[in-house]
Amino acid sequence: ILNVEQSPQSLHVQEGDSTNFTCSFPSSNFYALHWYRWETAKSPEALFVMTLNGDEKKKGRISATLNTKEGYSYLYIKGSQPEDSATYLCARNSGGSNYKLTFGKGTLLTVNP
Amino acid sequence: EAGVTQFPSHSVIEKGQTVTLRCDPISGHDNLYWYRRVMGKEIKFLLHFVKESKQDESGMPNNRFLAERTGGTYSTLKVQPAELEDSGVYFCASSQGALPYEQYFGPGTRLTVT
């Protein structure tokens, strides 16, 4: 994998469903993996920053895992609510003096009431 | 604490005109970044300031784009002359400290070039 890739591109679920998305990234020169939640016309909101292989983080109904050896991260949402509707972005940075984030295209989640 | 702010929120200009976008980072954040999202594509890095110095400008598309951060506080991104392909959402982000951890994003400026 050369770029950060996210799947699926979009997802429609019913309120109460649990769901998950995938972020795949180059495993070489890895420093950190970021997850953001973005609603159009608003600031992307940082959800998690993960650096260590096997990291698991949780924030309310949202959690994320990280596998740096195989180059993937999962984001899970338990009991989706309409207010979870947003684009979920993952981004990677390779550390050192290189601070820039390399983003995937995002997963657009729509939660139907 | 105020977040990252950007001005204007929207700008519609004609091809060939000049536009200047402004970003005010979170107070005390030395690192300031510009990113751009063209419709249908991923958010892409443009450049990174540490205080008033350009640390990395590898993502700047061409010399029609000029970024400044005089005094190490707010930053401006000027596009002159604007082309149709410059349309998109321009995000600014800031972070503190030496580690490239959380970058805090502004709401973006939506630029439309007609």
Task: Tell me the per-residue pLDDT of B58-101, one tens digit each, with 9 for 90 and over.
Answer: 999 999 999 999 888 999 999 999 999 999 999 999 998 766 57
Whether residues A32 and B3 touch (CB distance < 8 A) is answered with no
Instruction: Give B5-31 pLDDT, tens digit per residue.
Output: 999 999 999 999 999 999 999 999 999
Strand boundaries in chain B, DSSP class E? 5-7, 10-13, 19-24, 31-37, 43-50, 53-56, 65-68, 75-79, 88-95, 104-105, 109-113
A58, two tokens: 């949780």
Residues of B in contact with A36 (CB under 8 A): 105
Residue of B41, B42, B96 to mutate, interface with A, max A Cβ within 10 Å: B42
- Strand pairing partners for A109? A11, A86
What is the reported pLDDT for A99?
A: 85
Mutant choice from A4, A6, A55, A101 vs B, greatest count of B C-beta within 10 A: A101
* Average pLDDT across chain A, whole number: 93
Contacts (Cβ under 8 Å, ≥6 apart) of A60:
none
* A1: confidence class by pLDDT, cuts 50, 70, 90: low
| Chain segment A78-90, per-residue pLDDT in tens | 999 999 999 999 9
User: What pLDDT is stored for residue B31 in this prediction?
Assistant: 92
pLDDT digits (tens, 9 = 90+) for A39-71: 988 999 999 999 999 999 999 999 999 999 999
Strand order in the sheet with A19-24: A5-7, A19-24, A72-77, A62-67, A56-59
Question: Which of residues B65 and A97 earns the better pLDDT score?
Answer: B65
pLDDT of residue A93: 86
Helix (H, G, I), strand (E, B) or coil at B86: helix
Q: Which candidate from B91, B100, B110 shows the least CB-CB separation from A99?
A: B100
pLDDT value for A2: 67
Q: How far does the CA of residue A107 sit from the closest CA of chain B (Å)?
A: 11
State the pLDDT confidence band at B102, using cuts at 50, 70 and 90: confident
Predicted pLDDT at B15: 97
